[in-house]
Amino acid sequence: MKSPTNDTHLGLFAIRVWPVLALAVFAQPAGAEINVRDYGAKGDNVTDDTASIRAAVAAAQRAYTLTRSSVPGGHGGIPTRPEIVFPSGRYLVTEAIYIAGGVVRGKGEALLIQKHPDKDLITSQNAWRMTISGLTFVGGRNQLQLSNANDDGGFIQISECRFYGAAAVAVVMGKGSNSTQLKIRDCVFVEPEQALVSYTDETNVTDCWITSSRKMKNKAVIENRGGRMVLEKILGVPRVNGTDQRWIDVYFGNLTCRNFRFGGEGGGFTPVVNFVKYIPEPASFGLGPSIVLEGCQIYAGGNSRRRCAVSCEEIPNGITMRECALSVPAVHLSDRIDLQTYFLGARSSMLHFRLRQNRSDRQYDLPRRLQQPIVGKPTK
């Protein structure tokens, strides 16, 4: 990872500075906020507001400063810039709006509408310290397409937003954004093709309502491709179409779900599919990927291929399921997995698979070979 202090970009791009006490302050003064209406945006759902919004964003960026401070922990610099404000209205755009960072906020109920389903809404390749709140995003491909260059100390907060009908993904925190924490709270996702794809080291989603797209086929609503992902107090409403649909795909790292209602409308579909293989010591440092489901309502009758809570294409270091309500078996393993040899080379202390205090109309146990995995040195 690297600290965002080693280069400088002008215009709409974030300024990054060399590590000195204070640097680069644009001369143009600015108030606490920049209102997109003051730059010509109409918000009438008829006028193309793309150019006006870009002008407002450029004005905020001209007022941007990044100060290297002697304050402990200020290693990434301390940014300052006015917030960008969208008063209540319907702002129609025809191109993506690039915003380097800072605070972007809607007042009242402000809608940002992308006219073209193959174009993004808001993008940033320098999303480092960024807050987005109170906005409604409608249409387009990716509605928030964000990333950074593994900039140390990254923190992205998205709150009280609504996402309607993304043709691809509502929120993307893209590849390379490892050293970033992404926090999403109090948001609504209405029929996006996918709600979230995250490559960050830490992703936290809480107090959200999500309904999947009727068109989503053979994929997941959420993808964890980064480090740890924690999903809490989520109400999920599935639109079941009979394909291999699932709520969360795990391609890397750890997943924890607490009080997630994996809804049963249409029979529901699979909560979790795991694609990441356990990591043997010393590479895992005694840890390795894991899946924890706690206090969840679990339905998966609408996915005939994966009628289970956790479907394993690969087996992680740990699976724990406790105090969940189950309508399907807890864990299913791919037929490709040979548990006679799968864990050879591992130690039993590296592996942890447990079901505790779950509720169901029948007894669901772990696959027998997960209860006592065969471990030891591989035979030559």
* pLDDT for the residue numbered 67: 81
- Asked if 147 contacts 161 with a C-beta cutoff of 8 angstroms, the reply is no
102's tokens: 């800072």
Q: Is the dihedral of CA 174, 176, 178, 180 positive or negative?
A: negative
55's tokens: 């002008």
- Asked if 66 contacts 16 with a C-beta cutoff of 8 angstroms, the reply is yes
Percentage of the residues of the chain whose pLDDT score is greater than 90: 76
Higher pLDDT, 91 or 288: 91
Kindly list the distances between the CA atom of residue 352 and the CA atoms of 172, 317, 318, 325, in Å, as whole numbers in the listed order: 31, 6, 5, 21
Q: Is 1 a residue whose pLDDT tops 90? A: no
**Long-range contacts of the stretch 121-125 (C-beta < 8 A, 24+):** 121/93, 121/96, 121/97, 121/145, 122/96, 122/97, 122/98, 122/146, 123/96, 123/97, 123/98, 123/99, 124/98, 124/99, 124/100, 125/149
Find the mean pLDDT for residues 358-375.
Answer: 88
In this prediction, residue 271 has a pLDDT band, given cuts at 50, 70 and 90, of very high
Determine, yes or no, domain membership for 296.
Answer: yes
Determine, yes or no, domain membership for 182.
Answer: yes
Determine, yes or no, domain membership for 288.
Answer: yes
pLDDT digits (tens, 9 = 90+) for 175-222: 999 999 999 999 999 999 999 999 999 999 999 999 999 999 999 999
Residues 6+ away with beta carbon under 8 Å from 201: 178, 179, 180, 181, 226, 227, 228
Determine, yes or no, domain membership for 364.
Answer: yes
Determine, yes or no, domain membership for 170.
Answer: yes
Tell me which of 1-5, 99-103, 314-318, 355-359 is least confident. Answer: 1-5
Burial class (CB in 10 A: 0-12, 13-18, 19+), 341: exposed
Determine, yes or no, domain membership for 93.
Answer: no
In this prediction, residue 171 has a pLDDT band, given cuts at 50, 70 and 90, of very high
- Asked if 165 contacts 192 with a C-beta cutoff of 8 angstroms, the reply is yes
* pLDDT for the residue numbered 71: 60
Q: Is 61 a residue whose pLDDT tops 60? A: yes
* pLDDT for the residue numbered 375: 84
* pLDDT for the residue numbered 4: 47
Find the mean pLDDT for residues 87-106.
Answer: 97
In this prediction, residue 18 has a pLDDT band, given cuts at 50, 70 and 90, of very low
Find the mean pLDDT for residues 25-47.
Answer: 81
Q: What are phi and psi of 157, to 5 degrees?
A: -120, 125
Peptide bond preceding 282: is omega within 30 degrees of 0, i.e. cis? yes
Find the mean pLDDT for residues 300-311.
Answer: 96
Average pLDDT over all residues of the chain: 89
Residue type, 329: P
What is the CA 351 to chain-centroid distance, rounded?
A: 27
Tell me the residue range of the domain where 182 lies: 113-371
* pLDDT for the residue numbered 12: 36
Number of domains in the chain: 1
* pLDDT for the residue numbered 80: 87
Q: Is 252 a residue whose pLDDT tops 50? A: yes
In this prediction, residue 137 has a pLDDT band, given cuts at 50, 70 and 90, of very high
Find the mean pLDDT for residues 33-42.
Answer: 97
In this prediction, residue 79 has a pLDDT band, given cuts at 50, 70 and 90, of confident
Determine, yes or no, domain membership for 272.
Answer: yes
| Integer Rg of the chain from CA | 23
Give kind and range of the element (H or E) at residue 156.
Answer: strand 154-159
Highest-scoring range by mean pLDDT, 15-19, 30-34, 247-251: 247-251
Tell me which of 26-30, 116-120, 131-135, 320-324 is least confident. Answer: 26-30
In this prediction, residue 346 has a pLDDT band, given cuts at 50, 70 and 90, of confident
31's tokens: 């108030």
Higher pLDDT, 210 or 30: 210
Determine, yes or no, domain membership for 84.
Answer: no
- Give the whole-angstrom CA distance, residue 12 versus residue 260: 39
Residue type, 258: R
CB neighbours of residue 294 within 10 Å: 16
Tell me which of 12-16, 19-23, 82-86, 273-277 is least confident. Answer: 19-23
27 three-class SS: coil
In this prediction, residue 376 has a pLDDT band, given cuts at 50, 70 and 90, of confident
Q: Is the dihedral of CA 369, 227, 231, 250 positive or negative?
A: negative
Q: Is 334 a residue whose pLDDT tops 60? A: yes
